[in-house]
Amino acid sequence: MNLVFSPVTLESRDNYYSLWQKTPQNSLDYTLANIWGWQAYFGLEWAFDGDLCWVRQKQPVAAMWAPFGDWNAANWQDLFADIAPDSRRFIRVPEKLLAIWNEKLPGRVKAEEDRGQWEYLYNQQELATLPGKRFHKKKNHFNAYVKTYGEPDYHELNDDIVEDVLALQDDWCQWHECGDSPSLTAENEAINRVLSHWESFKNLYGGALYIDGRIAAFSIGEKLDDAMLGVHYEKGLNGYNGIYQAINHEFSAHAGKGFSFVNRAQDLDEDGLRQAKTSYQPIGFLKKYKVTIQD
């Protein structure tokens, strides 16, 4: 197998979507908005080969990501026979692919849990309604928002909303001094890159909250499959009471309508993120691993 890698581009999105639809477990990491949005930061490249697309990053350290596509149709024994040992070390490997590798390559798979990359899964109805004692604090924050600012003024993504979202993101970045943080700078570039081409993505969802006619929060997500909506970005301006509870609630209720689950991404082993994501009562995780395929 002779893999020819090239930078991730939107020109290959039809090839991408044809394989994405065949992938047995769709991680938020592997959405087109994510890998194209973060292409520059990670130096992401891909190579299309039959039923699979192979992904690798060149920076900050070189690494292979898991391939996506029809995992069940792939002849893994033959594929790995043609891949050099240093290209058989993978990160961000979803648990269903790991299970297939363990079955098809017995005794050759060395796996390590990567807890910081596990994606948090939630019940859509719970996020949209905040029911019962488990969500008491969240519901209080949401009610405080409604009491202070009135019923949420929610707008779905369109060209006008995108302009407001980009302006809010710029304000948010200035407030949080993104220029002093490589990760926030990279996220800011990814958000601007994706939203400047938002109509190029088949499955992008978005919405924003307005207070007195001014945008105060936004959330951008992507359909992962018929049952699951993923959340890429969620930002709110400082100084608005309950703003994050409100945008989470409204995005889950509006964009999440018709989905059973919401994927709110990983915590990257950051204590604050882990606490915040856990406080919304996840019902499970999309687990990911670091994997080496041995000789």
Q: Quick one: 210 and 228 in the same domain?
A: yes
Sign of CA dihedral 19, 22, 24, 29: positive
d(CA 281, CA 263): 12
User: Rg (Cα) of the chain, in Å, rounded?
Assistant: 20
**pLDDT value, residue 1:** 62
Look up residue 12 and give its DSSP letter: G
CATH code at position 227: 3.40.630.30
In the chain, where do the E strands start and end? 6-7, 45-49, 52-57, 63-69, 89-94, 109-113, 119-123, 153-156, 204-211, 214-223, 228-236, 261-263, 284-286, 288-293
Please answer whether residues 209 and 168 qualify as being in contact, where contact means their C-beta atoms are separated by less than 8 angstroms: no
Q: Order of strands across the sheet with 288-293? A: 6-7, 45-49, 52-57, 63-69, 89-94, 288-293, 109-113
Q: Alpha-carbon distance 232 to 117, whole Å?
A: 14
Indicate if 231 and 174 belong to the same structural domain.
yes
Please say whether the beta carbons of 99 and 291 come within 8 A. no
Q: What is the pLDDT along the chain (295 residues), one digit of tens a residue?
A: 678 999 999 999 999 999 999 999 999 999 999 999 999 999 999 999 999 999 999 999 999 999 999 999 999 999 998 887 778 899 999 999 999 999 999 999 999 999 999 999 999 999 999 999 999 999 999 999 999 999 999 999 998 899 999 999 999 999 999 989 998 999 999 999 999 999 999 999 999 999 999 999 999 999 999 999 999 999 999 999 999 999 999 999 999 999 999 999 999 999 999 999 999 999 999 999 999 999 8
Give the pLDDT of residue 234: 96
Residues 15 and 110 in one domain: yes
User: Are 131 and 95 in the same domain?
Assistant: no
Total of domains in the chain? 2
Does 152 sit behind a cis peptide bond, omega within 30 degrees of 0 on the bond before it? no
Tally of CB atoms within 10 A around 40: 15
Structural domain boundaries, residue 56: 6-117+289-293
Q: Does any domain span residue 277?
A: no
Q: Is the dihedral of CA 236, 239, 245, 249 positive or negative?
A: negative
Which token pair is 87? 């290209």
Residues 112 and 123 in one domain: no
Give the C-alpha separation, 141 to 6, whole Å: 47
- The predicted model scores a pTM of 0.95
278 assigned to some structural domain: no
